[in-house]
Structure 1
Amino acid sequence: MATISQAAVKNDLYDAVNGDWLKTAEIPDDHASTGGFMDLVDAIEKTLMHDFDAMAAGNVAPTDPQVAEFIKFYQLTKDFSKRNLEGAQPIQPCLKQIDSLSDLTDLQHRMPDWIYDGLPLPFSLDVDADMKNTKVNALFAQAPGTILPDKTYYDEGNQQGPKLLAVYGQMMLKLLQMTGYEQAEAQQIVDDALTFDRLIVPWVKSAEEAADYSKIYNPRSFKDFTNTSRYLDLAAITYSVIAGNPKTVILPEPAFFDHFNDVINPENFNMMKNWMKAKLVQRLSGYLSDDMRTVGTTYSRTLSGQKQPRSQAKSAYYLAAGTFDQVVGLYYGHKYFGETAKADVHRMVEKMIGVYKNRLQANTWLSAATRKKAIVKLDNLGIQVGYPDKLDPLFTKFKTHSAAEGGSVLSNVLHFGRVARKDMFAKWNQPTDRTRWEMSADTVNAYYHPFMNIIVFPAAILQAPFYSLEQAPSANYGGIGAVIAHEISHAFDNNGALFDEFGNLHNWWTDDDSAHFKELAKSMITEFDGLDFAGAKVNGTLTVSENIADAGGLSCAEEAAKSEDQVDLAAFFENWAMVWRMKATKQYMQLLLSIDVHAPAKLRANVQVKNLDDFFTTFDIQPADPMYLAPDQRVKIW
């Protein structure tokens, strides 16, 4: 790692480490950002496209039957001659189904099939772990999503909202005409979709509200849920997809169901139909012709500032790989990560858990009772590294119908979706699977699952600059070590702390400890809230969970680095700053500020180090230096 100027670090750690890179880095036209994470994504994309293109061309044999099914589908997504020739034809049967709806009773009769097919509906049902009994899967009812990325965009005075809705309207007008609607009819569909969307907005949560996990769990008796609607028989709809008699339904956004009849009623029926058409065309445009695919990304590209859509080759790859994500991930993990690296990183995770346990045992602000239960939670923490031990059985049910068998990209996607949703609903009231991966091994990311109490580190993130045998141990701790400890810290952030060792929503804190922790969380909110970035301001409440995890992760990783024979804290802090290097469009940065639970990358790098005393001694940072933070303002939670 290149040596950086101490004087530069005193002014701005992130710029000191990444300044030269920032001067020359260019954001590809088909990206909204570039940098540490995205560089790894691009490298993996190049590697896997090379492998799978060889298989699709018949030059290399697929490695197993599931990869063979994926390659058959990939051949379809790559065949733009066929896709362009078909145009909007594959979507017509779905649109005709919506067009032919006569009233809400008619919708109810067809809804079971439509739920399985994944067609746009004004509410949805799904199955996930019961947050108060996570050993069993429960039934959830969800509100529909809004057109704009967050309800705050609809606020009076938000200048972005009207501009984005205008872009959406123009895009949909064009897409609907490409689908076969006359201009006047297409315009009516767009107008109705925008009007119906506005009816939903007051009753759904903002990103900030949704970030509070304690408010997701709103169980309602099945009888009360079925009485929600005067115009749809919700019991009959539920029984058509669930084999049994649910006692409760969990409503993450209960206000929507409290106002269900205000939104879904005979008076709004035709408007709702047009909203469903618009949603369908937008959602499925990426599976059709190339011109529909590119037009269909106009709105999302405007949101992120991305100049150009993906190339045909890249879009075909991501469409196919996203559909067979666990198959692709397992292939990547076995070929490019392997059992040796998997075992090595697993040991590193166990070491970080040991560091965390020692810190909990030495904690001075938790009572003995809460500290004991925190250690029990840590002892029960599940670890998943690299890739799953076996493929999710769902993917053995994915059978691709080739062009010769009459299959299109869309017909296969609809088929796969139906198989997946039937599989999901069959899991209702069945035991949960703690070994299941929700992120594929080729994903450059990591996560903590509070309902399962597991931490997951896909193979894709377990490489330089995060982790490499070529790097100094201290640099590895500043990279992957901090990431590992970050995910462990999520078990004890303001959301994770609500869940016990089994992942159940259950208070295991004493009242005094809980009150003290909330005060510490407030100090983290204050540290970030209102910071200027990209012409806007950071929302400290929205980002508090991730900021607590960053602080705990960095602090624990530093302790682990200091336990090694060779300690280089300058390398530790420099690599921490390097992994967060990012250059992004202004639109993308502002979008993230509105909806992302993570603070901006530069602030993650710069603010968190100020909470560690060793940062100041390592670089001789004094009160007059911009990177200085007074000891009484340094936030220390874990």
Structure 2
Amino acid sequence: MIGGSGDIQNPKETDVKDNLYLAVNGAWQEKAVIPNDRPSTGGFYDLIKGVEETLISDLHELIKDKSKIDDDELLQAVKLYELANDTEKLRKYHQKPILNDLRRISKLSSLENLSDNFADLLKNDFVLPLQLDVDMDMKNTIQNVVYLTGADLILPDKSYYADGNESGQKLLEKYAQVANHLLAMVGYSLDDSHRIVKQALDFDKTLVPIVKTPEEWADDIKNYNPMDFDEFITKSKNLDLKKFVVDSVGDEPIKVINREPRYLENLDKLVNPDTFENVKSWMIVRFLFYKANDLDEEFRQTVGEYRLALSGAKELLSRDKFAYHVAERNLDQVVGTYYGKKYFGEKAKKDVRQMVEKMISVYEERLFNNDWLSEATKKKAILKLKKMVLKIGYPDQVESIFSKIKVDENLSLYDNLAQINKIKNEDELSRLHQPVDRSKWLMPGHMVNASYDPQRNDITFPAAILQAPFYSLEQTSSQNFGGIGAVIAHEISHAFDNNGAQFDELGNINNWWTKEDYATFKQLTQKMIDEFDGISYIGKKVNGTLIVSENIADVGGLRCALEAAKAEVDYNAKEFFTNWARVWRSKSTEQLTEMLLALDVHAPDSLRANVQAQNMDEFYDAFDVTEKDGMWLDKDKRVNIW
């Protein structure tokens, strides 16, 4: 993914020789105001805001006469938007829709009782201390398999729980305050709510040393830990794991892929008769936070107090915007395809496909001329490149799952969303013995982002990102290559980053490298880790290991896009690097910046702009950068992999 957001300290305009990012964005950075309802602003936000405004306007027009909507799936999105926006109707329901579900958790009388109901609770979207899903087997992508995952933490990351982390302490206090308020709103007494919140936080605390770090999650291969089903079902004396899986997927699988070995090994220490009441309270509180937005505006404002504290935004999205996001999240492919067809179209699809194919050709040439790969590895890399599937703009057909979604305007928003989630959960769990759908899109057409999926060996470029400053007919070819060209090549590079390099052309985990080539690649990867690791940012240190895959994609993408730009008759290096820096323009709240530094697999935006430019020899020539300048990086420290 290209994603990402960030901030930079003491923004001021400066010379490009000392700081490319500030030279391009410094004046903007000083004047930029983060909107009250957002935790950040910048290039990505501007595009997201534009898409949001366009689609909200369209939804309002469609509501005026729904009889004219000839697409039933789009009609459901419009009806869901209208229902989510009807504050008066939802106020009459208030807390009533969630009470039966909360009662269901409260009535769990024992661990055995919880275990017996685990599968049904999973299908009905309850928060559980153990989760499972069905997805393609990472070592055999023609078939689906069961994956197991543990619970996550209340706070964004285990580092927030460390002694001396003031942000974490304040957030836990705010969480407890909001949880008590929510419990009171659904009828709990003061004593009961305080007890429940304390027990929930006590269980959350036991998870901290067990859950994976963001750095561990960032290593795709470590998420693949196959276990024979017969062995898996012995891993808990307290929960009936066999019943959980069989009742969920309707069959007894041969194996289960365990994403979190440490969690499973500690499952009985976390969930046992002595901790049952804590687990139950944790389920109640987490479920309330998860579903509060689905009730009415009072609940949304209440749970929003914690979310504002977490993000640093000053106010919640307007009800209008909130309703839009309810519709686009739950029928994302429907909304994205509507957007793509109306504002992008088939002609643009073809144009962008040509751009991507051109970038793949440049990439192939670079692989062919690579001076550290053996011929055997080159052939495998080029085969992977040629087999890459391109998904441009929006899908030709919306997935069939969306035809099952029917919005009932006589029911509450909560009940409608509960039904939608159940449909999606049951559909996913039923896939175990179904063919793998390799045509599936990771991103809808209205999303401002792009992605590479190593298991499908495909790249997705939604329609919404194909706008200025990334791409425009009004921009020069060098500007476009510094924008969308680098994005395209970034996604291609993910096929050859530290994670992607371990998957073959069919998306299977498979070592297609010679031993010597892979050793060299590991050395280059370590150089990339070292280049970023420990850089001071917002008073903390950048984690080079966490962000290495995105940095490999950045440097490969920039290098490839630069080669393509140089082949054009109007090549201008200054325009190329200037637009490269411009697309990473961003300004964020302190809270979001801290969270992203801890969690995000992307480097802070200002560092993406500066450090990757420092790796390109052409940057120094274009701006006459010398050893005396702040942007200088010694040649032996510059990292180029692809």
Question: TM tier, shorter chain?
Answer: over 0.9
In the alignment, what sits opposite 1:165?
Answer: 172
Alignment equivalent of 1:248, drawn from 255, 258, 279: 255
Return the letter of the residue paired with 2:490: H
Deviation at 1:162, TM superposition (A): 1.7
Distance in 2 between residues matched to 1:153 and 1:376, nearest whole Å: 44
Return the letter of the residue paired with 2:115: Q
Q: Say if 2:20 is the partner of 1:13.
A: yes
Q: Say if 2:94 is the partner of 1:87.
A: yes
TM-score, length basis structure 2:
0.97
Return the letter of the residue paired with 2:31: T
Contact preservation (8 Å) 1:62, 1:71: no
In the alignment, what sits opposite 2:162?
Answer: 155
In the alignment, what sits opposite 2:499?
Answer: 495
Alignment equivalent of 1:275, drawn from 264, 270, 282: 282
Distance in 1 between residues matched to 2:94 and 2:266, nearest whole Å: 39
Contact preservation (8 Å) 1:451, 1:502: yes
Contact preservation (8 Å) 2:116, 2:240: no
Contact preservation (8 Å) 1:118, 1:417: yes
Alignment equivalent of 1:38, drawn from 26, 42, 45: 45
In the alignment, what sits opposite 1:551?
Answer: 555
Alignment equivalent of 1:176, drawn from 183, 186, 192: 183
Contact preservation (8 Å) 2:66, 2:75: no
Distance in 1 between residues matched to 2:50 and 2:536, nearest whole Å: 32
Alignment equivalent of 1:612, drawn from 611, 616, 619: 616
Deviation at 1:106, TM superposition (A): 1.5
Distance in 2 between residues matched to 1:257 and 1:393, nearest whole Å: 35
Distance in 1 between residues matched to 2:61 and 2:492, nearest whole Å: 40
In the alignment, what sits opposite 1:336?
Answer: 343
Deviation at 1:460, TM superposition (A): 0.5
1:3-57, CA deviations, whole angstroms, 9 ceiling, x for partnerless residues? xxx9821121111111221122110000000000000000000000000012223
Alignment equivalent of 1:509, drawn from 508, 513, 531: 513
1:474-516, CA deviations, whole angstroms, 9 ceiling, x for partnerless residues? 1000000000000000000011101111111111111111111
Alignment of 1:124-203 (within 5 A): 124-203=131-210
Return the letter of the residue paired with 2:640: K
Task: Judge which range, 540-549 or 317-326, deviates more.
Answer: 317-326
Return the letter of the residue paired with 1:436: K
Distance in 2 between residues matched to 1:173 and 1:34, nearest whole Å: 33
Q: Say if 2:320 is the partner of 1:313.
A: yes
CA RMSD, 1 decimal: 1.4
Partner-residue secondary structure (3-state), 1:502: coil
Return the letter of the residue paired with 1:390: Q
Distance in 1 between residues matched to 2:69 and 2:25, nearest whole Å: 41
Contact preservation (8 Å) 1:37, 1:444: yes
Deviation at 1:71, TM superposition (A): 1.2
Contact preservation (8 Å) 2:80, 2:326: no
In the alignment, what sits opposite 2:111?
Answer: 104
Return the letter of the residue paired with 2:208: V
Comparing both chains, which one has the higher relative contact order based on Cα–Cα distances under 8 Å and sequence gaps of 6 or more? 2
How has the CA–CA distance of structure 1 residues 588 and 60 changed in structure 2, closer, same or farther, with 3 Å as cutoff? Answer: farther
Q: Say if 2:579 is the partner of 1:575.
A: yes
Percent pairwise identity: 47
Distance in 1 between residues matched to 2:314 and 2:483, nearest whole Å: 31
In the alignment, what sits opposite 1:603?
Answer: 607
Deviation at 1:111, TM superposition (A): 2.1
1:359-404, CA deviations, whole angstroms, 9 ceiling, x for partnerless residues? 000001111111111111111111101000100111000011112x
Deviation at 1:241, TM superposition (A): 2.1
Q: 5+ unaligned residues in a row in structure 2: which ranges?
A: 1-12
Q: 5+ unaligned residues in a row in structure 1: which ranges?
A: 1-5
Distance in 1 between residues matched to 2:594 and 2:496, nearest whole Å: 29
Partner-residue secondary structure (3-state), 1:112: helix
Deviation at 1:301, TM superposition (A): 1.8
Task: Judge which range, 279-288 or 151-160, deviates more.
Answer: 151-160
Contact preservation (8 Å) 1:36, 1:578: yes
Distance in 1 between residues matched to 2:530 and 2:505, nearest whole Å: 29
Partner-residue secondary structure (3-state), 1:266: coil
1:513-535, CA deviations, whole angstroms, 9 ceiling, x for partnerless residues? 11111111111111111112222
In the alignment, what sits opposite 2:226?
Answer: 219
In the alignment, what sits opposite 2:459?
Answer: 455
In the alignment, what sits opposite 1:541?
Answer: 545
Q: Say if 2:421 is the partner of 1:414.
A: no
TM-score, length basis structure 1:
0.97
Task: Judge which range, 128-137 or 106-115, deviates more.
Answer: 106-115
1:54-106, CA deviations, whole angstroms, 9 ceiling, x for partnerless residues? 22233783241101111111111011011122111111010010111111222
1:545-585, CA deviations, whole angstroms, 9 ceiling, x for partnerless residues? 00010000000000000111211111111110110000111
Contact preservation (8 Å) 2:470, 2:483: yes
Alignment equivalent of 2:408, drawn from 396, 401, 404: 401
In the alignment, what sits opposite 2:82?
Answer: 75
